[in-house]
Amino acid sequence: MKVLYRIAIISILALMHVTAQAGNGFAIVIDPSSYAAAKAEVDAYASAVSKADGYKVIIVEDVWGVPDSIRAVLQNLHKASRNPIVGAVFVGDIPVAMVRGAQHLASAFKMDEERYSRDQSSIPSDRFYDDFSLKFDYIGRDEGTPLYYYQLTADSAQRLSPDIFSGRIRPMDENGKVRIDALKAFLLKAAEARLNPPVMDQMLFFSGHGYISESKTARLDEKKVWLEHFPALNDGRNHISYIDYSDAVPVKSHLMNEIMRPELNVAVLHHHGAPDTEYLNAAERPYMVRDAKEYMIKNLRDHVYRARQKGKDYNKVIEDFKESFDVPDSWFKDVFNEEVHKADSLNDASLDLYLEDFAGYGYKPAAQLVILDACYNGSYHLNNCIADEYIFQEGGTVAVQANSVNSLQDKWHDRFFGIVAAGGCAGDLVRYAPYIESHLIGDPTFRFACTGDNLDDIILKDSKSAWEKLLRKGTPDQKALALEHLYRKGAVSSSRLLDIYKDSPYAVVRTEALYCLYRANDDNLVTALSLAMDDADEFIRRISVKLAGKTGDVRLVPDIVKVFLTNNATSRVVFNTSYALLSFPKDTLYAEFDRQIAGTKMVNRDSEAAVLRSSFERSVTRFLGDEASITDPATEAKERRSNIRQIRSNLCYANVPALLDYLRTCGDADTQVLLLEALGWHRLAWNSADIAMVAYEMSRDEALPLEVRNEALKTYNRVTR
């Protein structure tokens, strides 16, 4: 890899085609065959970006086909004294970095890298290209594919802070597309959107089946936040539409028709996902007795049919159902009737949106910017994915934010979203909410027409005085962005952050203050979380409960027990509370529960109190014994491994001392690596300093194997930095 790095540095001058002269640069990284076939369209797009943004556009032909070489070129272009690049787009067959050992940089991905194949258990991520603080060791590649594997090193930065924004444009010969034709058409569409940017005037948000516990309050509060992101929409007109999956069964056509509405600019789609699927509906809920009967019969048919497909004894499955649910033989008479099965399959297919639906329904999304708040819809490393279909249609979509692997439902998906209507670009949405799985598919330079001061100039100059002015006088999003930059500069104390949280009437500003306090991680965070669990905004209440659990600080026990006992707690807050309780000492929780419930007014006190107590105990004891089994010599290796992996998500911090003693003395390198990695997830823990101290000592202990020392160093850096 070092030889290729030198080739990259030597060859760059011969491979740069420059348009315009400006203060900042933008790189188009493209494979030679795509550039040769679509040169006119690439040049048209480059010219449009240069004209719209004033960037010096540098076209870099990827003659290496190796991620390290491309990364070296981008780093040098970013460091250049003249026209340093602030962003890049990867066009065509640009190699994909598959990152390992970095699951703590993802919002949800936790697949076992030892048990699953590396193409499944690695994270496709362009943070390899846009975050230069990260360091990697090359592992290898899958021959015949664009996939190159890298391990995040122990001495790398252990948090994400991209230096440039980035995007992906990767058409393939899939789903009726000819890749070069699709590339040409997209580049011309993107160029037109840059030269004639639309005004942000109409948006849609959608909620799919089973997402964030189907909390209605979350969606009510979300609309208020959209008006903070886009205050110009708060003029008494109908600018924001909402569709819930339950509005129609199936809702697919209704949703597609709305997204094809020519006036629509932004579509934010909350749902579950796969590379080839947007999961929208569940089966229609029965309301009449006849409907309920048909619902149950179809459900039984599906189970039996799948059993036969998998080669199982389907007759036994039928007999088990008959015995368990006391259903008659007549309910199974059409189990293998092909006409009935075809009707069932068509009904199932109508519930969700698939890759083939774009061509099959003539689905041409009009919204220029689409947010796919779902798992795997942005799996750009595959030959096709949902995000690709959105941009390569004839409609108006030029930028899609999507995830390459699974994604946390409770993450702050809309952070600083309003900047795209104030001069910021779509690529900045990913740069400022930097999860390792989050990507911009399409044109990362896209932005809506700016009707006020151009925020992009302020972002690029990054002046403390300008940010202070915005914090005083800007829109809610601008205030939040200013707070972020001031925090990065060390220009805002945690006590000031707490005051801003207390005083701001805007949910986006209060959320940003919490995120900054989360990184500061001092007593002011505890105070803020105590207040935030009763915040007016549902998302803030939801994440504050989660963060309270991450601290395990007993000062928060009264607040979290109060949330548990609150009658009007939303479904998602209740869900997060049940997991957060696991972090606290059980005796402390029970004592506080008894104290609070004694003073709670309720009807049918004895029976109601018993139900609440039972529910509370289930939450508190859900994983009781798992942590103790880790240190038990009698525990089998497979069970110990499973339980260690479990504590990445849930850990009672009172058990940390015993785990650290075991970590130092167990003598098994594999177990030590696993346990160090798991403990590294708990940097907010009230006793995280103990974790850091042990990790640091082990990283310097030359009697330990190298792999243990490296993991110890990584854990130390994760917890302390």
Q: What is the DSSP letter of 334?
A: T
At 3 the pLDDT is 31
Tell me the pLDDT band of 610, cut-offs 50, 70 and 90.
confident
Last residue of a domain, one of 589, 620, 651: 620
Q: Are residues 124 and 244 in the same domain?
A: no
CATH for 78: 3.40.50.10390
**Predicted confidence (pLDDT) per residue in 3-33, tens digit:** 333 334 334 433 445 444 448 999 999 999 9
Q: Are residues 8 and 70 in the same domain?
A: yes
Question: Nearest-CA neighbor of 364 among 203, 189, 171?
Answer: 189
**Predicted confidence (pLDDT) per residue in 165-195, tens digit:** 999 999 999 888 899 999 999 999 999 999 9
| Helix extents (H) in 260-337 | 289-309, 314-325
Query: Lowest mean pLDDT: which of 20-29, 226-235, 294-303?
Result: 20-29
Last residue of a domain, one of 620, 651, 676: 620
Task: With both helix axes pointing from N to C terminus, report the angle between 637-646 and 669-679 in degrees, rounded to the nearest 10.
Answer: 20
Q: Are residues 134 and 53 in the same domain?
A: yes
Residue 1 has pLDDT above 60, yes or no: no
Whether residue 88 is contained in a domain is answered as yes
Whether residue 583 is contained in a domain is answered as yes
Answer yes or no: are the C-beta atoms of 511 and 412 closer than 8 Å: yes
**Predicted confidence (pLDDT) per residue in 520-563, tens digit:** 999 999 999 999 999 999 999 999 999 999 999 999 999 999 99
Vertex 446 angle, CA 443 and 449, to 5°: 165
Task: With both helix axes pointing from N to C terminus, report the angle between 476-488 and 464-473 in degrees, rounded to the nearest 10.
Answer: 150
Which helix (H) or strand (E) segment holds residue 124: the answer is strand 123-124
Cis omega (within 30 of 0) on the bond before 558?
A: no
Whether residue 573 is contained in a domain is answered as yes
Q: Are residues 420 and 554 in the same domain?
A: no
Vertex 314 angle, CA 310 and 318, to 5°: 140
Q: Are residues 510 and 412 in the same domain?
A: no
Whether residue 626 is contained in a domain is answered as no
Answer yes or no: are the C-beta atoms of 131 and 163 closer than 8 Å: yes
Whether residue 81 is contained in a domain is answered as yes
**Predicted confidence (pLDDT) per residue in 29-87, tens digit:** 999 999 999 999 999 999 999 999 999 999 999 999 999 999 999 999 999 999 999 99
φ, ψ (nearest 5 deg) of residue 164: -135, 160
Distance (Å, rounded) from C-alpha 399 to C-alpha 418? 15
Phi-psi region at 663: left, alpha or beta (left = phi > 0; alpha = psi -120 to 50):
alpha
Last residue of a domain, one of 303, 333, 349: 349
**Predicted confidence (pLDDT) per residue in 118-144, tens digit:** 999 999 999 999 999 999 999 999 999
Q: Are residues 17 and 139 in the same domain?
A: yes
Q: Are residues 98 and 154 in the same domain?
A: yes
Q: Are residues 293 and 417 in the same domain?
A: no
| Structural domain boundaries, residue 637 | 633-720
Whether residue 448 is contained in a domain is answered as no
Whether residue 455 is contained in a domain is answered as no
The two three-digit tokens of residue 250, written as one number: 């199936």
At 607 the pLDDT is 85
**What whole-number percentage of the chain has pLDDT above 70?**
97
Answer yes or no: are the C-beta atoms of 94 and 29 closer than 8 Å: yes
CATH for 526: 1.25.10.10
At 334 the pLDDT is 85
CATH for 229: 3.40.50.1460
The two three-digit tokens of residue 52, written as one number: 């719209």
At 10 the pLDDT is 34
**What whole-number percentage of the chain has pLDDT above 90?**
79
Rounded to two decimals, the pTM is 0.93
Answer yes or no: are the C-beta atoms of 494 and 520 closer than 8 Å: yes
**Predicted confidence (pLDDT) per residue in 657-693, tens digit:** 999 999 999 999 999 999 999 999 999 999 999 999 9
Q: Are residues 293 and 426 in the same domain?
A: no
Tell me the pLDDT band of 625, cut-offs 50, 70 and 90.
low
Q: Are residues 368 and 235 in the same domain?
A: yes
At 145 the pLDDT is 95
Q: Give the pairing type, strands 266-270 and 240-244.
A: unpaired
φ, ψ (nearest 5 deg) of residue 626: -65, -45
Q: Are residues 315 and 344 in the same domain?
A: yes
Q: In the chain, count H helices and then E strands.
A: 32, 18
- Count of domains for the chain: 5
Amino acid 513 reads A
Average pLDDT rounded to a whole number, residues 89-99: 98
Tell me the pLDDT band of 624, cut-offs 50, 70 and 90.
low
Residue 115 CB neighbour total at 10 angstroms: 10
Burial of 202 (0-12, 13-18, 19+ CB in 10 A): buried
* Long-range contacts of residues 427-434, Cβ cutoff 8 Å, at least 24 apart: 427/87, 427/165, 427/166, 427/167, 428/165, 428/459, 429/401, 430/162, 430/165, 430/166, 430/401, 431/130, 431/162, 431/164, 431/165, 431/166, 432/481, 432/484, 434/127, 434/131, 434/160, 434/161, 434/162
**Predicted confidence (pLDDT) per residue in 643-661, tens digit:** 999 999 999 999 999 999 9
Whether residue 195 is contained in a domain is answered as yes
Answer yes or no: are the C-beta atoms of 383 and 282 closer than 8 Å: no
Distance (Å, rounded) from C-alpha 570 to C-alpha 89? 41
Answer yes or no: are the C-beta atoms of 600 and 566 closer than 8 Å: no
* Long-range contacts of residues 132-136, Cβ cutoff 8 Å, at least 24 apart: 132/71, 132/75, 132/78, 132/163, 133/157, 133/161, 133/163, 134/160, 136/97, 136/99
Greatest mean pLDDT among 243-257, 295-309, 609-623: 243-257
Q: Are residues 276 and 293 in the same domain?
A: no
**Predicted confidence (pLDDT) per residue in 302-357, tens digit:** 888 888 888 889 889 899 888 888 989 889 888 888 898 888 888 889 999 999 99
Q: What is the DSSP letter of 200?
A: -
Residue 203 has pLDDT above 90, yes or no: yes
